[in-house]
Amino acid sequence: MASLLLLLLALSAPGTSLFSPGSGRLLPYDLLYADGVRAYFARDWPRAAELLQRALHSYSQLLEARRGCQSRCREESGFVGPPVAPSWETRFFDRVLQRAECLGECLGRRLGSEPSLHRASREIQEDFEQREPYNYLQVALFQLKKLDEAVSAAHTFFVANPQHLQMREDMEKYQRMAGVKLESFRDLQATPYWEAYKTGVQQYNVDEYLQAAVKLEESLEEVLLALEDCRALCEGPQEDGTEEEMHPGLYEAIAAHYTQVLKCRQHCVLEVATKPGQVSATDDFIPSHLDLLQFAYDQVGNQALAAECAASYLLFYPSDELMLEKMKRYWVELGEGASITARENIQQYVQRSLMEKKLIYYAVEHLGGTFNDPDPWTPDELIPGSLKQKHRENQKKQRLENLDVGEQEQRGPFTFEGITVTVDSHQLNGSQRVVFDRVLTDSECKDILRLAKAAGSTEDGYRGRQSPHTPHERFEGLTVLKALQLAQDGTVNWRDAKLLLHASEKSRKIVESYFTPGKRLHFSFTHLVCRTAVEGDQDDRMDLSHPVHADNCLLDPEGKECWREPPAYVYRDYSGILYLNDDFHGGDLFFTELDAVTITAQVHPKCGRLVAFNSGGENPHGVWAVTRGRRCAIALWYTLSPEHAEQERMEAEDLMRQGDMEQEPSHTDVEEHMRADHSGASPEPPMPKGRARSTSRRRTSGSESGQPQKLRARDEF
């Protein structure tokens, strides 16, 4: 993104402004953004904050104008009414021209300028979709001492980018600051239906069915409105870089663009069903509303509404035996004269979706291209015979990426010969704590330490800086994706980078086998971390290398509570630390009671030792000060929720596979190296491919996105 920003900065030099401030015209958000970023790098914090906020407002107003105009022009210039010419072709293009004229006039009036002036590049659009302006804004607001606003901006960015390393550190700093209110951690772009859906499901799970039905109805109504908004935005200008080849012919061009619009509309269901920061959508989001509502209404005795929801659900899954049995019961209970029909808005939704799918599949079959159907309920007979195999492969791939408990149990147990359970929960005076030894050999530890040293010698932002927790130590961190990227560039050894990936995967399987057999543990975050004592600055140290905390809740030592709520990483379920060395002083891990003072257990690091524990309030922990030398370990966090799986890791796995094909004739050397000193251990199965999501724009820390200047600005935070 750095080159893009430099271009925008050059185009928006001081003194250049598209419109005068008092003209009443909406300034293009990309130019405001460019001016705001330029002011940011110039450390002009008041101007940066103002321009970034105006850019966000302009972007919001632009989307609102597009949605409003699409709705108005669909009604005023729809494809209905008496023919205006004898030729169908003339009639069609007459309507097309009327719609285009209506949209141009409406947008021009609402924006106060030519709509073409508000067309930003795809890179800038992605910045706003991923909430990148809030990343800059939170720093500017902090520098202006507007702490509550800075926290809200930071939280808004973090919700959509939970794997952003630098923002993780910033959020931890905000949590430790005096005067920061809990209510300041709010999402400024929160979507209302998610809160209603969450509340409804919670009430449903505790058998409060009447209250649950109210919230689920509210959520379903908002979801359907959000779908319409998303679909309206699909009708904007055609973007470059689509998967279909752009043909020069009139009808080919129309078909290609219209097919793109249809695909965009179809994938709107994934957009509205994906929480900010998640990597996958909630399965069957609309049918699940109807299923929950059906049961809730049945439990409170409203069989009429329960039957209506059941009939609506059957539009998606007409052969669902359980729902068909319920429908039979509703017919009996309501009487023969009862009229049970599906909801009209759901009927329209399904009919429209099926018609669009039919057109898309026809286009793919006859004109080329691909289509990843977002819906598991698409009828098999709708899919052309030549595309059914590909469709089944896509559906199978999606199921593998979201394995449920039953599918996990079919995999069977995984054995780890040679690895010992050195200390269990009872010996560690707690619950769900364990220490494994011999997870890595001495040579494997040395290879990963070599990787850390080689990465530390680069100019990529990995270089040691002051620890976020203590001024007496330097802190270095490397993600698996960054390691593979450095290996691809030839900066570090390819085999060492792969070893980091495999060592962390091996640790995941051990923790999964020990704590959650039959349940899939996903990576939430993986981080190779080194802490180095600052020479000559260690006398009479009273601080810790890492203060006492819990990994998925906010520790309250005075109240002896741990609150599992944002901004804590509430989706984390288990944590692990795989140690690489012991040639340093201090740095032991210790567990405490909820008071953060009473120590219950202590673990000394050494090569190949893996400490694993539940991430909740039952395991507050900290790290003693490192007073001499360099302590390195692989920090690991896991989640049972596939929607919170670490996206960067999936990209790293894809990168590793590509590198294997390009650089190495054999893909087994690292696995063999991992098993060299663990004879008899079962071979590791190949890791599943990452989700089918574009990796051309990775969401990483500032140092990895080509913006070292921005990272340095936040380092002063």
Q: Which residues are catalytic?
A: 631
* The length of the chain, given as a count of residues: 717
Instruction: State both tokens at 192.
Output: 């209302």
Instruction: State both tokens at 406.
Output: 């039953």
DSSP 464: -
Q: CB-based contacts of 80: which residues, under 8 Å, 6+ apart?
A: none
Q: What is the CA radius of gyration of the chain?
A: 28
Q: CB-based contacts of 284: which residues, under 8 Å, 6+ apart?
A: 316, 376, 377
Nearest partner of 473 among 551, 587, 550, 579, judged by Cα = 587
Please state whether beta strands 626-639 and 589-592 pair in parallel, antiparallel, or not at all (unpaired): unpaired
Q: CB-based contacts of 22: which residues, under 8 Å, 6+ apart?
A: none
Helix axes 165-176, 708-715, angle to 10 degrees: 20
Please state whether beta strands 610-614 and 574-579 pair in parallel, antiparallel, or not at all (unpaired): antiparallel
Give the other-Cβ count within 10 Å of 255's Cβ: 17
Cα 46 from Cα 26, distance rounded (Å): 21
AA identity, residue 254: I
Q: CB-based contacts of 121: which residues, under 8 Å, 6+ apart?
A: 4, 30
DSSP 342: -
Instruction: State both tokens at 319.
Output: 């052969």
Half-sphere exposure of 294 (CA within 13 A, CB side): 24
Cα 440 from Cα 416, distance rounded (Å): 12
Is residue 408 classed exposed, middle or buried when 0-12, 13-18 and 19+ CB atoms within 10 A define those classes? middle
- Please answer whether residues 279 and 695 qualify as being in contact, where contact means their C-beta atoms are separated by less than 8 angstroms: no
Q: CB-based contacts of 324: which residues, under 8 Å, 6+ apart?
A: 314
The per-type count for the chain, helices as H runs and strands as E runs, is 24, 15
Q: Is 466 helix (H, G, I), strand (E, B) or coil?
A: strand
Cα 175 from Cα 555, distance rounded (Å): 11
Q: CB-based contacts of 112: which residues, under 8 Å, 6+ apart?
A: 19, 23, 24, 25, 26
Residue 293 vs residues 95, 203, 221, 284, 344: alpha-carbon distances, Å: 41, 12, 13, 14, 16
Nearest partner of 121 among 129, 113, 131, judged by Cα = 129
What residue has token string 């990775």?
698
Cα 599 from Cα 588, distance rounded (Å): 12
**Angle made by CA atoms 337, 343, 344, in degrees to the nearest 5:** 110
The two most distant CA atoms of the chain are separated, in Å, by: 94
Q: Is 214 helix (H, G, I), strand (E, B) or coil?
A: helix
Cα 634 from Cα 354, distance rounded (Å): 48
Nearest partner of 528 among 448, 621, 459, 607, judged by Cα = 448
Q: CB-based contacts of 540: which residues, under 8 Å, 6+ apart?
A: none
Residue 205 vs residues 153, 199, 216, 671: alpha-carbon distances, Å: 33, 10, 13, 44
AA identity, residue 45: W
Is residue 559 classed exposed, middle or buried when 0-12, 13-18 and 19+ CB atoms within 10 A define those classes? exposed
Q: CB-based contacts of 346: which residues, under 8 Å, 6+ apart?
A: 286, 290, 312, 315
